[in-house]
Amino acid sequence: MKTTRLLDLTAATVLLVYVGLSPPIVSGDPGRRVSMTLVRGAAALGAFCLDGSLPAYHLDRGFGAGSDNWLLQFEGGGWCNDVASCRDRSKTHRGSTRFMTKTAVFTGILSNNASLNPDFYNWNKVRLRYCDGASFAGDTQVGNGTSMLYFRGQRIWNAIILDLLPKGLAKADKALLTGCSAGGLSAFLHCDNFTSYLPKTADVKCMSDAGFFLDAIDVASNRTMRHFYNQLVSLQGVQKNLDPNCTRAFYPEPSLCFFPQYALRFIKTPMFILNSAYDVFQFHHGLVPPSADPTGRWNRCKVNVTACNPHQLDALQGFRTDMLGALMNFFRNSTRGGMFINSCFDHCQSALQETWLSPTSPRIHNMTIAKTVGDWYFGRGEDVKEIDCPYPCDKTCHNLIPASTTDSLVQEAKYFKMILYRDSRS
């Protein structure tokens, strides 16, 4: 299934594509390099990456007034939904710590620079490395000829938390669980469970960045993402780890609870949703997956939004309408939730400095993402929910898709060739 490969590959590289297309970080801050920690006790819990290697995280210690506060960020990187794609994934840094870089650069919401991350700079910050292919939610294993594929995301999550508790997490005063893309989906799936590990007196909240994946109907009137998630949930044994209240409500289709739009109303912990209404990953793989556009009529529109014809623009505006519709109950009725839904052609905005907080970062009503998230977390305002006007009104965007009338098909192909090479080396 070609869509499988693209879903797995694109989410893994889209942030790097962003880096290739966007202007340099205005601050000039290169970020802090943080070493990897392997979870030595994971084996006793049966917590393994796809290939059987030990899971890992990166911990940057807090200091000063932030010493007892914790921010955990799930890494993103797509999913795999069949044995073949998971086997391929197990031979990369998306399925094995053996192939991962041993340091990670902390920027954006993970920065320790007060001027670049004023609300969370001195917190303990953790990046959870992603190596299971099911948003840290699976729990089974499958024989793969002479070897085994371990679908143990749920156990990896538990093992990392148990490793962090004696390092200070057990005494957390404040905590924020977040993640980007597939990691943003993880934040929805594990939000309430995270709260259960922490002191009852702790102020615990969650934030999803680019993780509000829609149960969309694509341009060929198919539900490509639903089909993909159904296969993923079945293969990786995810259902037993989904919210039981949600799965009962959506019986006989419990896999729908892998979609945040269905799981959201069952989450009790305060949640902030950061997403683009024209999320590039969802545009390319939910609204217009390759299977829905076999003749390539959308190719130019996908790489150059100003090349979209009126019919295509209507479809994109319809996708935004569907996203806002799926969020409307949360927008109207959540008294503790927050949101920042902008109109940029983007994917993941909290981990990069230029979108999180910089002189040129995206804004809604002159509010940056960092300011909005901080105001929500610390209660500096009522009903912190920002929704942008429709494309093309927002001139503050850092678009993954160039807003240019220049034919960019050849340019885009060159970018992807470069980025895939860089990604293979990381």
Catalytic residue IDs: 181, 279, 347
Phi, psi for residue 127 in degrees, rounded to 5: -105, 120
- Rounded to 10°, the helix 2-21/409-425 angle is 100
Task: Give the contacts of 109 (CB within 8 A, at least 6 positions apart).
Answer: 71, 73, 117, 120, 178, 350, 351, 356, 370, 373
Scan for tokens 């890992």, then name that residue.
56
By the 10 Å C-beta count (0-12 exposed, 13-18 middle, 19+ buried), 222 is classed as middle
Whole-number Å distance between alpha carbons of 426 and 409: 26
CA angle 62, 188, 197 (to 5 degrees): 50
10 Å CB burial of residue 310 (0-12, 13-18, 19+) is exposed
Helix H or strand E segment including 409: helix 409-425
**What DSSP assignment string belongs to 159-175?**
HHHHHHGGGTGGG-SEE
Cα–Cα distance, 37 to 35 (Å, whole number): 7
What distance in Å separates the CA atoms of residue 308 and residue 296, rounded to the nearest whole number? 13
Burial label, 422 (beta-carbon count in 10 A; 0-12, 13-18, 19+): middle
174: phi then psi, degrees, rounded to nearest 5: -130, 150
> Collapsing DSSP states into helix, strand and coil, what is residue 363?
strand
| CA 63/CA 168 separation, integer angstroms | 12
**C-alpha dihedral sign at 215, 72, 19, 424:** negative
Cis peptide before 359 (omega within 30 of 0): no
Q: What is the C-alpha to C-alpha distance for residues 330 and 81, in angstroms, rounded to an integer?
A: 30
- Give every CB contact of residue 137 below 8 A, 6+ residues apart in sequence: 153, 154, 157, 186, 189, 190, 236, 238, 241, 242, 258
* CA gap 185, 278 in Å, rounded: 17
